[in-house]
Amino acid sequence: MSITYDKSSGIFTLSTNNTTYQMQADSYGYLLHLYYGRKTRGFADWELTFIDRGFSGCPYDAGHNRGYSLDALPQEFPVQGTGDYRTPLLILRDSEGTYGADLHYSGYEIHEGKYSLPGLPAVYANDGEEAQTLIITLKNDRLNLSVKLLYGVLPEKDVITRSVIVRNDGQDKITILRLGTACLDFTHGKFDLITFHGRHTLERQFDRQSMTHGTFSVSSRRGMSSHQYNPFVILADHDTAETHGRCWGMQFVYSGGFEATAELEQFDQTRLTMGLAQEKFAYPLKTGEEICGPEVIMSFSSEGLEKLTHNYHRIIRENVCRGKYKTAQRPIVLNTWEALYMNFDGKKILEVAECAKSLGVDMLVLDDGWFMNRNDDNRALGDWQADEAKLGCTLGELVKQVNSLGLKFGLWVEPEMISEDSELFRRHPDWAMVIPHEKPVLGRNQLLLDMSRREVREYLYACLSDILSSSNTEYLKWDFNRSIASVYSHTADNQGKVLYDYVLGLYEVLERINVSYPDVLIEGCAGGGGRFDAGMMYYTPQIWCSDNTDALDRMSIHYGTSFGYPAGVLAAHVSTCPNHQTGRITPMKTRYTVSSYGAFGYELNPLKLTDEERQEIASQIEQYRKDRELITEGLYYRINNPGDPYVAWEFVSPDGSKALVNAVIPTNHGNMPEIYITPRGLTPGALYRDILTGKVYPSDALMDSGYPLPLPKGDYEASTLRLERV
């Protein structure tokens, strides 16, 4: 049993193969957090200390017990107004404007299997995989409000998930002003917080800082998970590194606004939370209504960041991604964006396709610019009819011709958007999210469609369905190219719901497409990696990682991304030089080494390549086909950090029989000292052969002392070592 309840102490124990999570419904009816860490026997109730603390409120039910304060005790679901002045998960207001509601434990249920969530993505258990669900109900009698805390335990994955459902059964209309899903309270410890910040074209940069007193938060107020902060955070002991030390992760399975907070409070206790963004959120619940807090995937490692990463990689690959492409190899694509932008016609597309085929590419992806009036990025979003004059034929016919060259066909769409200059806007101006009598905020000269409206979702489904059923389009690149600013729905009874309902609306359309067209691969995209989150991965098993294709910048983007997300979900393409984002010139080999990371492809005009480059690309594609299983299914190791004199990363097959070590030396210097790379994860006591040279290495010496990199002859040189166990 991975979930047990001890009646005499009120302690719940959630166990995975290597971790234990404990909480206690105590004699006053509060649900206190006891422990999340390395697997243990017995009960960690000594974690609780009861000290009379000045200015920390005591619940009335504790009577004269002044040592009992929720301000100082670790909690599972802290609510505003209970005398706990730390960051709450729940803030609510009743119709009189009164804040707060004391919640008391009312019961629990344990179920076999992993819960799912209405309308929201969530981790699922595979057939035959062990999983259990615990539901703890907390209640407030005054409002007749219930809060169900959902815990999913996947023992073999070392993962515990959390979600929450708040339900109003009272007569009063209440408004939820803040809804967090998960909280981890630590009674002591000195921690660092690891977060991933960025911007358009430089997403998920690693940041690590020591906690100081106060609350630090990373969040997105943009209605999307965002380029700026990723909804994945790690709390780690000060001395935790890749291969040793304790660390805890929280990953939000949600693609809208979020907030993660880490607070070091007055008694040097630490609270970590994850939940919905509070701004522009005021969710009304009438009698009988409920709202579900998106899922948080939690994991703990006592063996450093590397193990935590492996846990997250496995859960995303095996229990979040779904459909045919969860396991099927993804096509190697040639994407037309950086190759042609919007300057093409049907003839050019076919020339590019033919050339791409000769290089060994599997699929041509026609990016932006293929539909009516879309010759620049200022108009036409919403009108999803092909520009037949530009293409020289219908979309279906173009796809047929691409197919007849032996290539699959993929297409770019940006369904959630509407341009003011579009037929759709002229027909349905009220479908755009624009606040009446306010001038809308533009982004890339476009507006958002109101995804909370059924008729909008029906329209989009019909458009996409039309494309997919009238042409053999086997891949959609689903883009989203601006942050949400003006939040307004003409049909909502309350504007405070719209942002949340928008995301549910998006998920509904994605789910319908997935169900109706199970063979179609959807690649997520939001100006690159602006919605690179586990919520999207449930519907789109790969995501365009960044609009930045520069090899050097990509290394740091891939590095940050790797902490929470596996290589297979990350799309990376080799582009031309000078690079279109940075102007940098890097060797073709380096561009390949960096891009051969996950869902691989090219983003350049093959007609402009020299013969030598063509040959190089053809052999890269051959090589990628040989390596890709190892890349997409192997264990990933960060050998060191971008910023060091060299950057190295490694993939090792799950059985340890093969390894691929990549390294790039960003800057060459005169008379450089030798650089030694130390691979990890090889089978101890084994011998490994370098596939290229035949040289045999003893695994322990190699992992201990490393092998020398060939000294570079210029900047940005890459080298690869492919090993197989002898």
Told to check if 130 binds ligand GLA by CB under 6 A, we report no
CA distances in angstroms from 591 to 522, 599, 698, 708, listed in the order given: 24, 14, 30, 22
CB of 557 to ligand GLA, least distance (A): 13
Told to check if 639 binds ligand GLA by CB under 6 A, we report no
* DSSP H stretches of helix in 498-583: 498-516, 534-537, 551-562
Binding to ligand GLA in span 263-322, by CB under 6 A: none
Site string for ligand GLA, 316-355 (x = CB under 6 A): ---------------------x------------------
CA distance 695 to 675: 19
Told to check if 368 binds ligand GLA by CB under 6 A, we report yes
Told to check if 505 binds ligand GLA by CB under 6 A, we report no
Among residues 412, 459, 600, 651, the one that binds ligand GLA under rule CB under 6 A: 412
Stretch of 262-270, 277-285, 451-459, 523-531 contacting ligand GLA, by CB under 6 A: 523-531
Told to check if 601 binds ligand GLA by CB under 6 A, we report no
Tell me if 678 sits within 8 A of 706, measured CB to CB. Answer: yes
Helices and strands (H and E) in the chain: how many: 13, 37
Amino acid at 378: N
322 vs 580, beta carbon nearer ligand GLA: 580
Side-chain half-sphere CA neighbours of 625 within 13 A: 12
CA distances in angstroms from 237 to 29, 192, 242, 437, listed in the order given: 32, 6, 12, 52
180 vs 524, beta carbon nearer ligand GLA: 524
Place of tokens 């090792």: 652
Sheet-wide strand order for 19-25: 3-6, 11-15, 19-25, 31-38
Place of tokens 């939040």: 487
164 vs 522, beta carbon nearer ligand GLA: 522
449 vs 677, beta carbon nearer ligand GLA: 449
Told to check if 387 binds ligand GLA by CB under 6 A, we report no
Place of tokens 């796809």: 399
290, 351, 423, 613: which one is catalytic?
613
CB of 629 to ligand GLA, least distance (A): 27
Stretch of 189-197, 239-247, 456-464, 522-530 contacting ligand GLA, by CB under 6 A: 522-530
CB of 227 to ligand GLA, least distance (A): 11
Stretch of 155-163, 184-192, 255-263, 524-532 contacting ligand GLA, by CB under 6 A: 524-532
- Kindly state the helix (H) or strand (E) to which residue 107 belongs, with its residue range: strand 104-112
Told to check if 525 binds ligand GLA by CB under 6 A, we report yes
Tell me if 377 sits within 8 A of 427, measured CB to CB. Answer: no
Told to check if 527 binds ligand GLA by CB under 6 A, we report yes
Phi and psi torsions of 525, nearest 5°? -165, 145
Told to check if 688 binds ligand GLA by CB under 6 A, we report no
CA distances in angstroms from 342 to 335, 419, 422, 535, listed in the order given: 12, 17, 17, 30
DSSP state of 654: T
151 vs 337, beta carbon nearer ligand GLA: 337
DSSP-assigned letters across all residues of 598-666: SEEEEES-GGG--HHHHHHHHHHHHHHHHHHHHHHHSEEEE-S-BTBSSEEEEEE-TTSSEEEEEEEES
Q: Are strands 258-264 and 214-220 parallel, antiparallel or unpaired?
A: antiparallel
CB of 374 to ligand GLA, least distance (A): 9
Told to check if 203 binds ligand GLA by CB under 6 A, we report no
Tell me if 324 sits within 8 A of 267, measured CB to CB. Answer: no
Q: Is the peptide bond before 578 cis (omega within 30 degrees of 0)?
A: yes
CB of 529 to ligand GLA, least distance (A): 9
Tell me if 92 sits within 8 A of 172, measured CB to CB. Answer: no
Tell me if 464 sits within 8 A of 412, measured CB to CB. Answer: no
- Nearest 10 degrees: CA dihedral of 304, 305, 310, 316? 140
Residue 527: burial class (beta carbons within 10 Å; 0-12, 13-18, 19+): buried
Q: Are strands 270-276 and 174-186 parallel, antiparallel or unpaired?
A: antiparallel
Instruction: Find the distance separating the first CA and the last CA of the chain, reported in whole Å.
Output: 41
CB of 237 to ligand GLA, least distance (A): 37
CB of 342 to ligand GLA, least distance (A): 8
CB of 369 to ligand GLA, least distance (A): 8
Among residues 10, 256, 304, 528, the one that binds ligand GLA under rule CB under 6 A: 528
13 vs 542, beta carbon nearer ligand GLA: 542
527 vs 666, beta carbon nearer ligand GLA: 527
Write out the two tokens for 76: 């599972």
Amino acid at 591: R
Write out the two tokens for 23: 């909480």
Told to check if 630 binds ligand GLA by CB under 6 A, we report no
108 vs 544, beta carbon nearer ligand GLA: 544
Among residues 299, 309, 319, 481, the one that binds ligand GLA under rule CB under 6 A: 481
CA distance 723 to 692: 9
412 vs 649, beta carbon nearer ligand GLA: 412
143 vs 365, beta carbon nearer ligand GLA: 365
C-beta nearest to ligand GLA: residue: 368
Told to check if 377 binds ligand GLA by CB under 6 A, we report yes
Stretch of 104-112, 520-528, 630-638, 695-703 contacting ligand GLA, by CB under 6 A: 520-528
Is 533 catalytic? The answer is yes
Told to check if 367 binds ligand GLA by CB under 6 A, we report yes
CA distance 176 to 90: 7
148 vs 477, beta carbon nearer ligand GLA: 477
Site string for ligand GLA, 147-166 (x = CB under 6 A): --------------------
By CB under 6 A, the count of residues binding ligand GLA is: 12
CA distance 319 to 155: 13
Site string for ligand GLA, 422-461 (x = CB under 6 A): ----------------------------------------
CA distance 344 to 375: 9
242, 533, 550, 603: which one is catalytic?
533
Residue 589: burial class (beta carbons within 10 Å; 0-12, 13-18, 19+): middle
Told to check if 547 binds ligand GLA by CB under 6 A, we report yes
CB of 338 to ligand GLA, least distance (A): 8
Amino acid at 594: V
Told to check if 543 binds ligand GLA by CB under 6 A, we report no
Told to check if 474 binds ligand GLA by CB under 6 A, we report no
547 vs 550, beta carbon nearer ligand GLA: 547
279 vs 377, beta carbon nearer ligand GLA: 377
Is 345 catalytic? The answer is no
DSSP-assigned letters across all residues of 182-229: EEEEESS--EEEEEEEEETTEEEEEEEEE--BEEEEEEE-SSS--SSB
- Residues marked active site are found at 533, 613
Residues that bind ligand GLA (CB under 6 A): 337, 367-368, 377, 412, 479, 481, 525, 527-528, 544, 547
